[in-house]
Amino acid sequence: MSTKKRIVVTGLGALTPLGNSVKASWEGVTAGKSGVGPITHFDTEGFETKIAAELKNFEPRDFMDGREARKMDRFSQVAVAAAKEALGDAGFTPGSFNPERAGVVLGVGIGGFDTIEQSHKAMLERGPDRIPPMTIPKLIANIGPGNVAIHLDLRGPCYTVTTACSSGTDAIGSAVRWLENGSLDFILAGGVEAVITPFCVAAFNVIQAMSTRNSEPERASRPFDKDRDGFVMGEGAGILVLETLEHALARNAKIYAEYGGYGISCDANHLTAPHPEGRGAVSAIKMALQDAGLAPEDIDYINAHGTSTPVNDPVESAAIKNVFGAHAYKLKVSSTKSMTGHTLGAAGGIEALFSVLAVHTDFFPPTLNLDNPDPLCDLDYVAKVGVQGPPGSIRAAMSNTFGFGGHNGILVFKKYAGA
């Protein structure tokens, strides 16, 4: 008999290209709204890609003191904002919890790129002694959860997980272990990224990974469609409050869903391309199901990695069919990246959050712009319009993420059925 503690999701926090809160972001998902538009962060003259899924009207001072915000890179500002919402949503207030038994783990794929670019420019233009003194404390990837811990007084484990686009998923999977063994009462976990910068966009363009459908921004992210031409870069954060069931019940907390399981693997195949047969994805999916104690037939919805790239989408579809067999054609699969773009290190956190809400509300999110499905992608991808299922229609959902380097991370969330 398992001695692992049961874990539930009691709080959510998000800033996405669909809105600067969980409520606004989820309303965007249910409405099938696209968060993609022309890049406003910098002048795109000369750039092959001129579109991205940016946060809209994000003002750090709405979430924190302006002086503190100036000490942070954009990715830290976004992380703190989402974490504050998550903690408040879970019903925690200062002094209402033991800070020694609370922590934060965030996935960060790249980190403070904006700070790196600005400081490097200052050095080239004005000399090495004119680099801003806060450069290092702003750019290092661990400073995202570090800032969250400082602002929310979380004194337990605090660290960053960096596994490219699987970072947010792996942060959640890693964080849960602290709860399962009884070391903590709750932990904030998810992902954050904010690297829509000149250098980053140019670098992804050089490897021809991004969409150049500049004349139709809202139609550019089109997972599983045969006319897809690359991913659309996004930014944002998705953070969950994960809590032991006994602690949640003791304080009469609301519960969105129960954590099910986690799978992790590496393709050990290529720097950027997935294994052509999806062997790493298959392994991670099977591991997540086993960890959750579920059979393939118990999954009703998969939030796919679904990047809208020519290589990823058919490989992921093949991996799903490999594991789920005939049931692959009965469950629903969709990619919320069709709405948010690909938020890189934040993707696993944001998509885990959407998966939790799918389970909680029995709503199957849509895949926008799926006009002409790729013949190799022949599953039910909830094309264009989301589906509201009857109560109990999503018993369990899976969230898939795959990253450069062959990283694969899978999460499973289940409908909470009581103690």
Please report the domains of the chain, with CATH numbers, ordered by start residue: 7-250 (3.40.47.10), 262-414 (3.40.47.10)
Which structure tokens are listed for 335?
């990619």
pLDDT at 265: 97
Give the HSE-up count for residue 114: Cα atoms under 13 Å, Cβ half-sphere: 17
Chain-centre distance for alpha carbon 319: 20
Q: Which residues contact 127 (CB under 8 A, 6 or more apart)?
A: none
d(CA 139, CA 82) in angstroms, rounded, equals: 19
Chain-centre distance for alpha carbon 69: 23
Which structure tokens are listed for 20?
């600067």
Q: Are β-strands 396-403 and 301-303 bridged in parallel, bridged antiparallel, or unpaired?
A: parallel
pLDDT at 2: 59
pLDDT at 94: 84
Residue whose C-alpha is closest to residue 317's, from 376, 375, 229: 376
- Rama region for 46: left / alpha / beta (φ>0; ψ in -120 to 50; rest): left
The residues assigned a catalytic role are: 165, 305, 342
Each residue's pLDDT expressed in tens, for the chain with a length of 419 residues: 557 899 999 999 999 999 999 999 999 999 999 999 999 999 999 999 999 999 999 999 999 999 999 999 999 999 999 999 999 999 999 889 999 999 999 999 999 999 999 999 999 999 999 999 999 999 999 999 999 999 999 999 999 999 999 999 999 999 999 999 999 999 999 999 999 999 999 999 999 999 999 999 999 999 999 999 999 999 999 999 999 999 999 999 999 999 999 999 999 999 888 888 889 999 999 999 999 999 999 999 999 999 999 999 999 999 999 999 999 999 999 999 999 999 999 999 999 999 999 999 999 999 999 999 999 999 999 999 999 999 999 999 999 999 999 999 999 999 999 88
Q: Give the amino acid at 257.
A: A
d(CA 210, CA 361) in angstroms, rounded, equals: 33
The H or E element that residue 15 is part of is: strand 7-15
pLDDT at 273: 85
Residue whose C-alpha is closest to residue 363's, from 394, 396, 384: 394
Q: H-type helices in 38-142, by residue range?
A: 66-69, 74-89, 113-126, 135-139
Q: Give the amino acid at 390.
A: P
> Nearest 5 degrees, angle CA 240-CA 338-CA 27?
55
Chain-centre distance for alpha carbon 199: 22
d(CA 370, CA 349) in angstroms, rounded, equals: 24
> Residue 360, SS3?
helix
